[in-house]
Structure formats: C-alpha cells, structure tokens
Structure 1
Amino acid sequence: MMADILVTTTERIPGQEYQVIGEVFGLTTQSKNVIRNIGASLKNVVGGEIKDYTKMLDEARNVAVDRLKQNAANMGADAVVMMRFDSGSIGTDMQSVAAYGTAVKYL
C-alpha cells in the first residue's frame, strides 16, 4: 500500500535489513495562472516572498513524493532511501520537480 512506503533521506534505515530493488522517481510540472503571474511580477518590483510560487512549489514537492511512493509500491518496495529533490524552470512560469531515490525491499 502506498501510504506504508517509508521515504527517508538517509542511506540506512536503523534496524532494517533490505535489498535494493532499483531507482525510483516521481515527477510533476506545474504552473500558475496568468493573473497570479501578473501578481508575482508586481511583487518582483517591490521585493519579498511570492507566496503563490512558494505554495506552488510546496504542492509540486508533495505531488512528486506521492508519485515516488506510488512508483515504489508498484515495484514491490517497502521503502525509499536516499530520497532527494531536483527542480527547474521550464520557461518563465512553469516549474518541474523530481523526487528520486532508491527503492528497497525488507528482508
């Protein structure tokens, strides 16, 4: 079950022995609507946090981790170790987020 997949940024899970299944990832690409992009552009003039973009990135990270868990479950994994994030811009108003790690099965 996907909810039971442990995701950790560490290399080892204390007290667990496991075998490596392979690499696993979850991806998403998101953008904000035109009106929010205009608001973000105005905020860029005065400075400060652009909360709509912060929220978008937070949502994107959550979606990427959920997809990582689902892909790991589909592989028969019990956990994902060494999970990391990578992100990048696509154009001026889209953001891509990848969550990746190593899927493992408990012995």
Structure 2
Amino acid sequence: MADNKFIISTTEHIPGKEYEVLGEVFGLTTQSKNVVRNIGAGFKNLVGGEIKDYTKMLDEARDISVQRLRENAQKMGADAVVMMRFDSGSIGTDMQSVAAYGTAVKFK
C-alpha cells in the first residue's frame, strides 16, 4: 500500500525540507516472461511494433521495485528517498530485473 506522505524524488533537494542522509536504499524485482508472451513476442518480432505484454511486465516490475524501495527506506527510519533512479537488465533470455535505488533521508 502506497504511503502518500512518503516522498520519493528524482532530485537531490526537496523544497522546504532539511534532512540527514541515512544511506543507500534499493528495491529489486525480477520478472520472467511466460509462454504466451514469448509466442506473442515472436509474432510481433516478425512484423515490428511494440510488444505490449513485455511493456506491461516492465511497468509492473517498475511499480514493484519502487514499492520495495519505499518499504526498505521506511525500515531504515527514512522519511523520504532522494536521487531515485532505475536500472534494468536481462538475465538470460527469459527474465528481466528492475532495480529502483536512491538515498534514504530523515527530515530534521
């Protein structure tokens, strides 16, 4: 469940807030492609265009990684995460890993 008071920012500074740095924090997930997605991707690869099932999978993975980032930061006692970024990569041919990472901070 999202905490609307918890701030996740891609910037270094949050206007009007002073904080101390707690440390780095991550949220990770790995998603696998299923047979139906692979068959659809194979057909789409022949004609070109967006593979919507893969896009949906990556969007879900991004949401999960941000939620885990938030949870891990809150376990550290953080009030926010600054400088949040994403990284992703393939593991073999059937898995995609997504990491959300940033700096956990505590408001003064």
C-alpha distance in structure 2 between counterparts of 1:57 and 1:33, whole Å = 13
C-alpha distance in structure 1 between counterparts of 2:76 and 2:88, whole Å = 24
Kindly, what percent of the aligned residue pairs are identical? 77
Root mean square deviation of aligned Cα: 1.2
TM-score (norm. length: structure 1): 0.96
SS of the aligned residue for 1:88 comes to strand
C-alpha distance in structure 2 between counterparts of 1:2 and 1:51, whole Å = 25
Q: Where do 1:6-85 residues align within 5 Å?
A: 6-85=7-86
Question: Which residues of structure 1 form unaligned runs of 5+?
Answer: none
Q: Which moved more, 1:1-10 or 1:53-62?
A: 1-10
Is this contact kept in 2: 1:2–1:73, CA < 8 A?
no
SS of the aligned residue for 2:55 comes to helix
C-alpha distance in structure 1 between counterparts of 2:2 and 2:73, whole Å = 8
TM-score (norm. length: structure 2): 0.95
Q: How many residues align?
A: 107
Question: 1:2 Cα shift?
Answer: 6.1
Question: Which residues of structure 2 form unaligned runs of 5+?
Answer: none
C-alpha distance in structure 1 between counterparts of 2:2 and 2:39, whole Å = 38
Q: Which runs of structure 1 show a deviation greater than 4 angstroms over 4 or more consecutive aligned residues?
A: none
